[in-house]
Structure 1
Amino acid sequence: MKEKLAMERQSLNEKMNKLRIDEMKLEETRRQLDIVRCDLVREQDVLTYREEYLDQRQDELNKRAEVLNQTEKLLKESETRHRRLQDEQSKQFTELQEKNHKLHEMEKQLVLKKLVKKGFCVKIGSIYKIDHSSFSFPDLEKVVSEHF
């Protein structure tokens, strides 16, 4: 019986040793899991920080894009207004040139009519006395158009 008890005791001791070894392995596994858990938490924190940073950068880029779009819109409006003003200025300049030309022609005609009424004709910078009976108004226009 002593042998049987000794064998049971030895069997129990072996089982206890095995349980202690398993417990040590389990404790080591827990430590490794804690390390992995801490690493994962740290990585999650880093990823969260990076995500926040990227969100901020995206917000900044969106704001800049909006400012750029507004600036481009204002530039297009300004260019359109500039072209419209240039066209208007060009049109007014053309009108003024036409009016100036008409005014010049009217002044020339007025001077010639006054000279003709007084019996004079302008030819190459000189004034000649003419006889109304032998000189017609179309001839006067020809002389004036050649020299003005």
Structure 2
Amino acid sequence: MFGHGRVLPPESRSINGAYEIARLLLVKARRRLRREEYYAEALWLWLSVRDGSWFRIVKMPTVNDEQAIMTAHRMLWDYVRRELPRNTTIFRVGITLADLSPANARQLDIFNNDDAIRQKRERANGAMDALNAKYSSTIVHMGEWNPPAGGHVGGKISYVRIPSAEDFY
């Protein structure tokens, strides 16, 4: 699994604020997924709210490109907006890419002929990743890039692995 979690700063504890931070965490997880040469088939979202927690999984085609993963992310947040009251206070958010397979073992789906689109997106994402690695910073990305107070979305010391320098940009 590749994922990140974060306790939200007070100004981001709304559904919209949590969405933005989860999106940034997912960009970081997706970059690690690509660096480690894996594909994911599921996206998990969990939220810690005032009266407990909320959790949902969305299945995806076997992907590692940002466009497909962000589409699944938007689907998850559509569920959040339908199932939780608008004024819900969210204290913590976690996002995880799961059901992984190595890049050299990707199984194509006979009913989802996405190979040409997938390859085009992967080339674009590869170019973005190369620029970000070259300049050791988030130079190119999809959508807005507004880190929360304190910065470093996803770049923390892990309990299960030693983070690489790329985790901090």
TM-score by length of 2: 0.17
Query: Which structure features the higher share of strand residues?
Result: 2
Based on CA coordinates, which of the two structures has the bigger radius of gyration?
A: 1
